[in-house]
Amino acid sequence: MTEPAFDPPLALRDEPVPLRTLDEAAGWLRLHGPGHGHNWEGVLRRLQSASSTAECRDAAAAFRGWLDATGLLVGFAPPDETRAPGTVAGRRD
């Protein structure tokens, strides 16, 4: 799940760093999903269990759809935006 799944990366409301991978999406959803509409737990399970190419593609589409439905997807990040290796979106260490 560490391969880039979102190309271009997803820009989210109130999230300064764009999301690029399913791992980043799952980390963000664990922290921010509660309180943002229904079915976030189902989307999280799909992100965490995706292993085949088709499952990863479907999980990415489900996450994008959930973000759009909840109003959290604001667009796509410019290609030059990068995340420091080893960081998780939403985590403030």
Domain count, the chain: 1
Flag whether 14 is in a domain: yes
The Cα 27–Cα 80 span in angstroms is: 22
Predicted TM-score of the model (pTM): 0.78
Flag whether 85 is in a domain: no
Question: Running DSSP on this structure, what letter comes out for residue 9?
Answer: P
**Predicted local distance difference test score (pLDDT) of residue 2:** 52
Which tokens sit at 28? 């963000």
Range of the domain at 35: 10-76
- Asked if pLDDT for residue 48 goes beyond 60, the answer is yes
C-alpha distances out from residue 44 to 39, 66, 68, 84, Å: 9, 10, 15, 23
Flag whether 54 is in a domain: yes
High-pLDDT (> 70) share of the chain, %: 78
The Cα 66–Cα 26 span in angstroms is: 13
C-alpha distances out from residue 24 to 52, 60, 70, Å: 18, 11, 18
Residue 91: pLDDT band (50, 70, 90) is: very low
Most distant CA pair in the chain, distance = 33
Work out the average pLDDT over 4-24.
Answer: 90
Residue 74, SS3?
A: strand
